[in-house]
Amino acid sequence: MTADDIRQILLEEIGNIAPEADLGALDPEVDYREKLDIDSIGFLNLIIAIGKRLKIEVPEKDYARLGTLSGAVSYLVARKRG
């Protein structure tokens, strides 16, 4: 699975949590949770959905690494390879 594949999955799942968001305009270095006003329950649901789709478990201690698109993609690519 490539970084582009993971980015697409991440954007799809963010779109499920925040359907009104313009995902194409998201800066990959900005905290998308803040930008899209995703609350903690929405973020937890996002992590669960990503974990199911990618068949990985994201430990709670790593949640902060998923706060930006670029950070999340890097983290998830590494987890899929590991």
Return d(Cα 71, Cα 78) in angstroms, integer.
11
Question: 82: helix, coil or strand?
Answer: coil
The CATH number covering residue 63 comes to 1.10.1200.10
Per the structure, the count of domains in the chain is 1
Residue 13: domain span: 3-81
Tokens read off for 59: 């430990």
pTM: 0.90
User: Mind listing the pLDDT tens digit of every residue in the chain (82 residues)?
Assistant: 899 999 999 999 999 999 999 999 999 999 999 999 999 999 999 999 999 999 999 999 999 999 999 999 999 999 988 6
Contacts of 59 (CB under 8 A, 6+ apart): none
